[in-house]
Structure 1
Amino acid sequence: MGVVLSKSLFIKQAVLTLALAIVLSLVSSGIQFIDGIRYQKQQIDQDFDELLAVVEKPLSEAVFRLDVTFAQHQIDSLLLSSSIAHVEVRDEAGVLFVQATAEKRRFSVSHSLADYFLPDLQNYKRELRLERPVFQAGSLLVLPEKRYLLDRIFKEQLSILIYNLFKDVLLASLISLLFYFLVTHPLKRLTESLSTVGYNEKLSLPKSFYRRHKSDELGHLHSTFSLLWNKLNTALSDLERSDSHTKAMIEHAADGILLLDENNKITLVNTAAEFMLKMESETLKSLSLETLHASSSWGVFSEALNSLQIDAPRTVETLYQIQNIELPVEIRLAKYKIQDKIEVLMLIRDVSERKETEAHIHYLAYYDSVTHLPNRQYLADKLREALQRKQPVPSSSAVVFMDLDRFKTINDSLGHNVGDQLLCCVASQLSSLIDDNIIFARMGGDEFAFLLTNLGDNKEQVELVINRFAESIMFACQQVKKAGHHEVHITASLGATIFEGSECSEEIILKQADTALYRAKECGRNTFALYKKEMQAVSDARLEMEKALHHATEFKLFELYYQPQTNHKDELIGAEALIRWKDDKKGFISPAEFIPVAEEIGLIVEIGDWVLNEALSQVAIWLREGKWQVSWRISINVSPIQFQQAGFLPMLKAQLQKHDVPACCVDLEITENMLLNDLSSSLEKMNAIKSLGVYLSIDDFGTGYSSLKYLKSLPIDRLKIDQSFVRDLLTDKSDEAIVHAVIAMAKALNIEVLAEGVETLSHYDRLREINCFCYQGYYFGHPLPADKFVAAFVHDSTTLKPDF
């Protein structure tokens, strides 16, 4: 029916009319059929009454005379009628006198169907009696043949049904044909006329159409369409004028205009944009937006463009690269939606002159808005002047960099307002120590700088002055400071470089001071370092390490190795996932070397997430391949910084679900020092991790500073004895005592113990003697890549057999 109703109007009307005619014909015939049955029942009763009346008297006389032959002849004659199935005659005592049954015949209807349609048709019984002499002769019983009677009714009604159906179908066809000529065909001609009419043309139809349909609905429909068409032509003319007007305004606009489609492809360029960008319109349309930008500005502009909301215009400043010249521009971005299409309008204005003015004003703005100290630019200018100044007698000068230790922690925990107040307090307190030949400036953030000039020409004396100055600054910083309602304790790290004359540029001097400051931080903070030439190599190596580490993190150049963990039965119980980094230039770099750098520059969280994802992915593969048992654990180290992240727990859940690895296969290793920062928060997170079914271990146990009293409240499954204690177990009684104590304490707390750094059979035997039953070390196997680990340590049995 759905296919039919999707056709033309004529087919829809014809099919529906025909269907309706058939349904009505069948309903009408059904009603006639029911009335026919009712009528036939009455006719049957009448026929049987007449038939019985004919044989009643002869049969009464035959019974009276006891003439069986004559009676039998009479009832046999009744069976000549196909409507009678059986006849019986009984005498006055009810004894069967004669009977007869019709021969078996086949009918098109069944007994059940006959009983259903003729339920009221009963057996016919007539009393036999003689009038003269008066004699009660007996009774006559006639059983009608219902199947024959119903079959006869069906045949009569079928002809009526066929006649009515033919008549109704013929009438429906005539109606459909009439509908076609009166409605469908004229409507089709009107539709064809509408589909072929051109812009600014009138609707034209044959004169016969106007003559026949002038006053009917089709005529009104044509008039309505003509009126709408005229209005549409008028609207199109207005739209063309509006479009021409818009194009004229775009072309004559003073600002450059670019129009972007939803894919940020340029679709429209005005003359001002061509002049500003020094390119033709077609050339610009073939370029991407990125090619117009300076490399340093594209990232910021791309983010602004991608985050732009519909009907929320914004202004962005960026740099265009025009014929090797950077052109600062101000762009007004507006995103809108027209007819389900999204477009972005860019109004571009050259602001190079304004930028030059702003740059000059900025150059004159020498003071920091928070501390009211001279800023970096001021210090740089004064340093430049000192280098350019010609002195009759050579004299040394120095630049001292100062950085407040752990200022970020104070800023994050107490708020930026308190941090700013602390900076002001430090600036005010240190300003009192400044002489006329010292310039004190805030370089930005929590970093300050001092420029000391005219210190003399005696190198040793100058170094002594610098050292005393640094000590006075550090002592002043150590004093309790008021920041709002808080009393804050803070220390400072200082680095200095001494220079004389103009043998160095200002950039080199500032870099040397920064290098010395970094060395001071490396030495434990709250200290001072004076720049030496050998520091630069360390600083350059550190910078190179940071760059290489960023590159390795971005392109995932790390690899996971796996070291087996065994028990005292030489059975494999798991493995530790260890990160390895092979640099193209330096080869393999120790995690002990690059992990602290990653923690300091903020890459450790990203690296830690990669390690967790990679390790779980590998375990999932081994589980599918049957190379890993659910009872084994994969040990994964978690950095304190990564563990303290708010998103660590959701990330862990997501990784477990992503790789479909049972939580019982995962053992997260944390360090004791992590508990020093925030024990309550760490404990809450550890309990949440345990609720997932993940195991927790304390790595390098015995080297940290956390109190042992907290150990009983921590949900820890395993302690890993640091390899430094295991390595000297056989030679150092103190180390042996520590190992004994750890094992005894863990046993009392029902915590498993695993010894790291087991390298010899002697270590292995001694650990078993003192009841340490889990091990890891070179004696059992070196860390290997995943495929080699499986080949070396995973066999048909779970037993790990090291080479003794």
Structure 2
Amino acid sequence: MGEIIGQPCYKVSHHLDLPCYLDGEDCPVKHVFDTGEPRTTIHTHYDVTGQRIYVKNKAFALQKNDLGEVQTVIEIVVDITAKNHREAEIHHLAFYDPLTSLPNRRLLLDRLEQAFITGARTGYYGAVLFLDLDHFKTLNDTRGHDVGDLLLVEMAGRLQAAVREGDTVSRQGGDEFVVLLKNLSKAERVAITQAGHVAEKIRTDLGQPFRLAGHEQQITASIGICLFCGHDTTVEELFKRADTAMYQAKNTGRNAVRFFDPAMQAALEASSALETDLRQAISKRQLQLHYQPQADSTGKIIGAEALLRWTHPERGPMSPAAFIPLAEESGLILPISHWVLEEACAQLKAWADLPAASAIRLAVNVSARQFRQADFVKEVQQIIAASGADPTRLKLELTESLVLADIADSIAKMQELGAMGIGFSMDDFGTGYSSLSQFQHLPLEQLKIDLSFVHDLGIGPQDAEIIETIIAMGRILGFHVIAEGVETRAQMDFLLHSGCEAYQGYLFSQPVTAPDFELLLAAGVMERKG
């Protein structure tokens, strides 16, 4: 006791060098001195061994002077560590499975209700996956329940590793598990693909051998999926559908994934087949770049945008809208984006010897996933060096949302590439939520007015004002402004009158092959078609 007499409480019990209220804690003694009112708080203290303990502190005035000012305060401290532990145990038993420590049905239902609310507000799809092990009873009967329990624990770990941090893996009992996926895409077709990819990853991961009690054990799982968006169905109906889909998976031979909705199952199978074809398209050189001219007000070509095209061997030309989202979801966007940049730089090098093309700038779209790679700058530098292209003729198009997701990282990469002479254009400008102050620091050279605003000129009441504002903003910040999706003379006339400096769209030309683009260059000036 002699060691602590005369020592301040914050040193003895809090292990702090300053009073606890200066460290953000609610000090009940200070509260009583300041207000005269009693105060009860919960604090974390430390015992003489440094072990953390939880205490309830109650302070009240013991003595006041004639003016009512507190002179003496008494504080009663009660150790509630054991009580807290008991409450934590009760909470764990109420909401978590005792074997696997996964959320149980009660906690899953609570999180599912929150997912319903969030989905109704945001429009994002979610999914419920019902999962049941194949022939688990046989394992229990032949190797014993202890080994069966070991498998369930190991399985819980693999399931959690297969999903995102915000998703939920729940054990319902026995060998039945439910996975709740939140915040999938707003587009149903993409959400189907996303849920299907997770289910297939789970199925594949569970198919790897388990090492149980010194022996290797193989197991498979059948998985049923049902999508939801907001409160479009009840919990009971959602579970019923996912359970039905799971039994459909079992009936097809087990070790399978099935959607409840046959149309969704067909969409998943079509998506999987298309993904396989897309992987082959890269190696079989079925991809190609087309080039859409960018012109000034006279129709003179000043640049072009490289646009990806895929000619499927059976389906023919594929719309980018049909395969780009799939490429992004599957991760194929990285090798595809690398190929696009290589092809574009090779074309720039080839055009360097063509007098009519030697001064044009070629714009290449950069995917978010590609730009966020740690070695993106190095990747671009290596492609430029290998191709021999002039970096000052290359312009990278970045979307507003991509740049603002991590503005510091974006600026650092843009500055490093900009030092080589590479330019940057803000694609789809006006569709995000950026501010003027943010753009003042971005090393951009161009803003591209999104085609949705151009398309709605004369239709949407505010589109004309938005376009005029973007052009004025570009002028203030010293950015070159280009409009995409220009299809009519009326659109062109409005943009020209508003001060827009460059144009891209079907009014001048659709995207064309490299040889056809060279013919347009040779013609000098493009005729407007509208």
Helix, strand or coil: the match of 1:577?
A: strand
Instruction: Give the Å deviation of 1:500.
Output: 9.9
Q: 2-side partners of 1:675 and 1:450: how far apart?
A: 41
Q: Which amino acid aligns with 1:642?
A: Q
Match of 1:576 in 2: 305
Match of 2:397 in 1: 669
Cα-to-partner distance string for 1:487-542 (whole Å, 9 max, x where unaligned): xxxxxxxx824169899625468411xx4xxxxxxxxxxxxxxx111112111111
Q: 1-side partners of 2:479 and 2:404: how far apart?
A: 21
Match of 1:379 in 2: 133
Matches within 5 A, 1:736-755: 736-755=464-483
Q: Does 1:552 align with 2:289?
A: no
Q: Does 1:801 align with 2:520?
A: no
Q: Does 1:716 align with 2:470?
A: no
Matches within 5 A, 1:601-620: 601-620=330-349
Match of 2:496 in 1: 768
Q: 1-side partners of 2:421 and 2:246: how far apart?
A: 65
Q: 2-side partners of 1:549 and 1:452: how far apart?
A: 26
Cα-to-partner distance string for 1:130-162 (whole Å, 9 max, x where unaligned): xxxxxxxxxxxxxxxxxxxxxxxxxxxxxxxxx
Instruction: Give the Å deviation of 1:800.
Output: 3.1
Helix, strand or coil: the match of 1:588?
A: strand
Match of 2:318 in 1: 589
Matches within 5 A, 1:727-738: 727-738=455-466
Q: Which amino acid aligns with 2:366?
A: V
Match of 1:655 in 2: 383
Match of 2:355 in 1: 626
Q: 2-side partners of 1:569 and 1:382: how far apart?
A: 74
Q: 1-side partners of 2:223 and 2:234: how far apart?
A: 13
Helix, strand or coil: the match of 1:692?
A: coil
Helix, strand or coil: the match of 2:257?
A: helix
CA contact (8 A) 2:447 2:480 kept: yes
Q: Which amino acid aligns with 2:386?
A: K
CA contact (8 A) 1:701 1:719 kept: yes
CA contact (8 A) 2:312 2:318 kept: yes
Match of 2:242 in 1: 496
Helix, strand or coil: the match of 2:413?
A: helix
| Distance 1:372-1:545 versus aligned 2 partners, 3 A rule | same
Instruction: Give the Å deviation of 1:446.
Output: 7.2
Cα-to-partner distance string for 1:668-723 (whole Å, 9 max, x where unaligned): 00111112432211111111111111110011111234444311111111111111
TM-score, structure 2 normalization: 0.58
Q: Which amino acid aligns with 1:661?
A: A
Q: 2:291 is matched with which residue: 536, 554, 562?
A: 562
Q: Does 1:439 align with 2:172?
A: no
Q: 2-side partners of 1:557 and 1:445: how far apart?
A: 28
CA contact (8 A) 2:362 2:393 kept: yes
Helix, strand or coil: the match of 2:462?
A: helix
Helix, strand or coil: the match of 1:645?
A: coil
Instruction: Give the Å deviation of 1:545.
Output: 1.0
| Distance 1:778-1:451 versus aligned 2 partners, 3 A rule | closer
Cα-to-partner distance string for 1:158-204 (whole Å, 9 max, x where unaligned): xxxxxxxxxxxxxxxxxxxxxxxxxxxxxxxxxxxxxxxxxxxxxxx
Match of 2:421 in 1: 693
Number of residue pairs matched? 348
Instruction: Give the Å deviation of 1:658.
Output: 2.1
Cα-to-partner distance string for 1:237-292 (whole Å, 9 max, x where unaligned): xxxxxxxxxxxxxxxxxxxxxxxxxxxxxxxxxxxxxxxxxxxxxxxxxxxxxxxx
Q: Which amino acid aligns with 2:509?
A: G
Cα-to-partner distance string for 1:358-409 (whole Å, 9 max, x where unaligned): xxxxxxxxxx999799xx9971114999xxxxxxxxxxxxxxxx9879955x
Q: Which amino acid aligns with 2:488?
A: T
Instruction: Give the Å deviation of 1:779.
Output: 0.4
Cα-to-partner distance string for 1:341-373 (whole Å, 9 max, x where unaligned): xxxxxxxxxxxxxxxxxxxxxxxxxxx999799
CA contact (8 A) 2:399 2:429 kept: yes
Relative to its length, the structure with more helix (as a share) is 1
CA contact (8 A) 2:377 2:413 kept: yes
Q: 1-side partners of 2:223 and 2:354: how far apart?
A: 69
Instruction: Give the Å deviation of 1:730.
Output: 2.4
CA contact (8 A) 1:755 1:772 kept: yes
Cα-to-partner distance string for 1:95-140 (whole Å, 9 max, x where unaligned): xxxxxxxxxxxxxxxxxxxxxxxxxxxxxxxxxxxxxxxxxxxxxx
Cα-to-partner distance string for 1:568-625 (whole Å, 9 max, x where unaligned): 1222111111110010111111112211111111111111111111111112111113
Gaps of 5+ in 2: 1-98, 105-129, 140-157, 180-198, 207-219, 225-232
Helix, strand or coil: the match of 1:551?
A: helix
Q: Which amino acid aligns with 1:533?
A: P
CA contact (8 A) 1:562 1:784 kept: yes
| Distance 1:734-1:503 versus aligned 2 partners, 3 A rule | closer
RMSD between aligned alpha carbons?
Answer: 3.9
Matches within 5 A, 1:23-422: 379-382=133-136, 407-408=163-164
Q: 2-side partners of 1:735 and 1:644: how far apart?
A: 32
Helix, strand or coil: the match of 2:305?
A: strand
CA contact (8 A) 1:384 1:506 kept: no
Q: 2-side partners of 1:738 and 1:384: how far apart?
A: 67
Instruction: Give the Å deviation of 1:565.
Output: 0.2
| Distance 1:780-1:497 versus aligned 2 partners, 3 A rule | farther
Q: Which amino acid aligns with 1:498?
A: T
| Distance 1:638-1:377 versus aligned 2 partners, 3 A rule | closer
CA contact (8 A) 1:743 1:771 kept: yes
Gaps of 5+ in 1: 1-367, 386-401, 411-421, 454-462, 471-494, 516-530
Q: 2-side partners of 1:545 and 1:452: how far apart?
A: 22
User: Over alpha carbons, which structure has the higher Rg?
Assistant: 1
Q: 2-side partners of 1:444 and 1:502: how far apart?
A: 16
Helix, strand or coil: the match of 2:280?
A: helix
Q: 1-side partners of 2:426 and 2:247: how far apart?
A: 56
| Distance 1:451-1:406 versus aligned 2 partners, 3 A rule | closer
CA contact (8 A) 1:439 1:451 kept: no
Cα-to-partner distance string for 1:40-97 (whole Å, 9 max, x where unaligned): xxxxxxxxxxxxxxxxxxxxxxxxxxxxxxxxxxxxxxxxxxxxxxxxxxxxxxxxxx
CA contact (8 A) 2:132 2:177 kept: no
Q: 2-side partners of 1:381 and 1:681: how far apart?
A: 50
Instruction: Give the Å deviation of 1:727.
Output: 0.7
Q: Which amino acid aligns with 2:476?
A: A
| Distance 1:760-1:405 versus aligned 2 partners, 3 A rule | farther
Helix, strand or coil: the match of 1:650?
A: helix
Q: 2-side partners of 1:369 and 1:500: how far apart?
A: 22
Percent of paired sites with the same residue = 32
Q: Does 1:641 align with 2:387?
A: no
Instruction: Give the Å deviation of 1:773.
Output: 1.8
